[in-house]
Amino acid sequence: MACRGIVFNIQRHSIHDGPGIRTILFLKGCPLSCWWCSNPESQSFARELSFKPDACIACGACAGACPARAITKEDGGFSFDRAACTSCGACAEVCYAGGRTMEGREMSAQEAVEEVFRDEPFFRRSGGGLTLGGGEPLAQPEFAGAVLRGFKAKGLSTAVETAGHVPWENFTRVIPHVDYFLFDIKHTDPRKHKRFTGADTCLIQENLEKLLRLHSGVTARVPVIPGFNGSGEELLAIADRAAALGLKEIDFLPYHGYGSGKYALLGRAYPLKTFGSPPPTAEIVEGIERLKPAVEKRGLKVRIGG
């Protein structure tokens, strides 16, 4: 339990990430780089600076604290050279207005378990518990395993959200301590998957097949992204793959743009802008609803949303 990891968020009272009311512990770092990622702050394994210009009150405290001199006074205000920033966090420590914050904090497994266990009354009443999210939580296998083991020892439910693109050994560290796996199936075409996520489907498919031989609590999750996998043909192909593997449940998660604004705060461009403005989420949901009967005929229980 002395093992340490990097966490970037703790989200309480979730009802979409496993049964009951759950608290999600988001672990930082991911081997994929999905164009639509709603948590861009989760992708890097290192802590990084988020800068909100609208919150800046031009007090100058950050410029005085920055050892890299990435913040300088200019034309009555202050300019920020992100290329010179080392993400040391000195500016965030003195930013009283909250314009500069650090994404990611180091925690011990014991600290993480104790933090999540504060919600024990909700878990006991609803059958909920801890869900590890990310990023890719299995990319921090030692920390993830220690947290899950510690939480499971308290007699409460555990779940892991995973995209599956990690060494198989990372799964073996956690399998004995996990009640539910929420496993992404993003696409059946390896080339298209690689273009939009940075990796093909080979390792993911191999890990999913191995996991299903050892664990019965696996649900397929499909982020429905216009321009990537949003056509009826593509979604039914994913459903066919899930059914062929023996999966019984599939969650379709309609695209939303809630995380798109985070990219600018981290000094990055939003990759999915390549496709222009996506349709409203309600329209995407309607399309999935029309497909639902066909997916259910494949023997899959369908949930929409999350």
Q: How many CA atoms are closer than 13 Å to the CA of 220, on its beta-carbon side?
A: 31
Structural domain containing residue 192: 4-45+104-304
Cα separation, 173 vs 265, whole angstroms: 35
Last residue of a domain, one of 60, 81, 103: 103
Among residues 103, 130, 147, the one where a domain terminates is 103
pLDDT of the residue at 278? 76
Q: pTM of the predicted model, to two decimals?
A: 0.93
Is residue 8 domain-shared with residue 151, that is, in the same domain?
A: yes
- Enumerate residues 6+ apart whose C-beta is below 8 A from 125: 21
Instruction: Indicate if 220 and 253 belong to the same structural domain.
Output: yes
- Both 10 and 71 in one domain: the answer is no
Q: Which two tokens stand for residue 184?
A: 């992404």
Q: Could you give the CA distance from residue 41 to residue 242 in angstroms, rounded to a whole number?
A: 30
Q: What dihedral do alpha carbons 152, 158, 164, 166 form, nearest 10°? A: -30
Asked if residue 276 and residue 175 are part of one domain, the reply reads yes
Q: What is the pLDDT of residues 122-159, one digit of tens each?
A: 999 999 999 999 999 999 999 999 999 999 999 999 99
Domain count for the chain: 2
Question: Could you give the angle at which helices 281-296 and 232-244 cross, rounded to 10 degrees?
Answer: 40
Q: Which of 183, 186, 245 is nearest to 213 (CA)?
A: 245
32 and 53 co-located in one domain: no
The confidence score (pLDDT) of residue 1 equals: 61
Tell me what pLDDT residue 77 has: 84
Separation between Cα atoms, residue 157 and residue 144, nearest integer Å: 15
- Give yes or no: residues 114 and 157 share one domain: yes
Whether residues 179 and 65 fall in one domain: no
Per-residue confidence (pLDDT) for residue 274, from 0 to 100 = 66
Do the beta carbons of residue 208 and residue 164 sit within 8 Å? yes
- What CA–CA distance (Å, rounded) separates 63 from 60? 5
pLDDT of residue 306: 62
pLDDT digits (tens, 9 = 90+) for 245-293: 999 999 999 998 888 999 999 999 999 876 667 788 899 999 999 999 9
> Can you point out the beta strands (E) in the chain?
4-14, 22-27, 48-51, 71-74, 77-80, 100-103, 105-108, 129-133, 157-162, 180-184, 218-224, 249-254, 301-304
Across the chain, which has 306 residues, the per-10-residue mean pLDDT values are: 90 94 98 96 96 93 96 88 95 96 96 97 96 97 98 96 98 98 98 97 98 97 95 97 98 92 94 77 93 98 89
For residue 63 the two structure tokens come to 């410029």
pLDDT at 272: 87
End-to-end Cα, the chain, rounded Å: 31
Domain CATH for 92 = 3.30.70.20
Phi and psi at residue 38, in whole multiples of 5°? Answer: -90, -5
Instruction: List 48's β-bridge partners, or say none.
Output: 103
